Amino acid sequence: MADTFARPGPRPAPRWGRPVERLSRPIRVYLLLAWTWSRALAQYPASLLLMTLGTSLGAIAEVFAVFVVFRHAGALDGFSLAEGLLIAGLASLMFATADMLMGMVEGLGQHIRTGSLDVMLVRPVSPLIQIITDRFALRRLGRVIPAGVITGIALHHCDIDWTLGKILFLPVLLVSGVAIAAAIWLAGSCLQFFVIDAREAANSVTYGGQALTEYPLSIYGKGVVTAVTFAVPLAFVGWQPVLYLLDRPDPTGLPESLRFASPFVAVLACTAAALLWRLGLRRYRSTGS
């Protein structure tokens, strides 16, 4: 093996060169690390199976609660059972996907406390990618799949006037929703750079946001809807896409053009979250342990 070291290695690419390489490398590293962790966790197959099952049960239990509430109420704010399940399913699908791709970032405080963030900083891979793939939990697919199935069933039972525009715009809405949810996850976790024990406070926007978006937002009143449209853009995860699909006017009287704003909000939210992450990382001082 000695001659491997003697041979001059490939020259490092210039920093701003090869744009394709610059974009594709993080994705490749992400996939590689995620795959490595998935294999590592699969070493306890009984646990992996139970955890996946448990995650699925959690997703099903949440939608079951929505089902029970709508069965008792008949309709909430003019939304029928099927439409209520569509909102819950779609929001759950977007949050679950974001959680799978990005959710591990909430372990940031733990990495700071134990000093493992220092180790990540000296490795030649973005620390963000290392954190979000750390103990990457394939079991979270157990949440995505039931959410997808429920969304599918609800779509089938809802009376939707499918136009070409809707078919083309639906994937855009889905991707934007996932991006917004992921940005909220990242931004919430960045709080831990400033207050290490704040993990639970972040839960009130991440898991709390997920709980909030499971029901037609209008039941919370206009104040809350305005806040989750303009401050923490949770309204674009689930609620606005469903209003668009069902051709409903916004029950709280917000402009209908908002439903087309998803992609722009997604870009804004991701930029803000990325800036917050940079800010936190710059401010970070190792605990020294």
Contact 220, 77 (CB under 8 A): no
**Per CB under 8 A, 145 contacts another protein:** no
**Per CB under 8 A, 201 contacts another protein:** yes
Cβ closest to another protein, residue 3 vs residue 197: 197
**Per CB under 8 A, 68 contacts another protein:** yes
User: What track of x and - describes contact with another protein for positions 168 through 197 (by CB under 8 A)?
Assistant: ---------------------------xxx
**Per CB under 8 A, 139 contacts another protein:** yes
Dihedral angle sign, alpha carbons of residues 54, 197, 268, 128: negative
Residue 266, both tokens: 């997604």
Residue 203, both tokens: 């839960």
Instruction: Give strand pairing partners of 282.
Output: none
**Per CB under 8 A, 48 contacts another protein:** yes
Q: Which of 100, 212, 234, 242 binds another protein (CB under 8 A)?
A: 212
**How many residues contact another protein, by CB under 8 A?**
43
List the interface residues with another protein, window 5-44 (CB under 8 A).
44
Query: Applying CB under 8 A, which residues contact another protein?
Result: 44, 46-55, 57-58, 61-62, 64-65, 68-69, 72-77, 139, 195-201, 203-204, 208, 211-212, 215, 219-221, 224
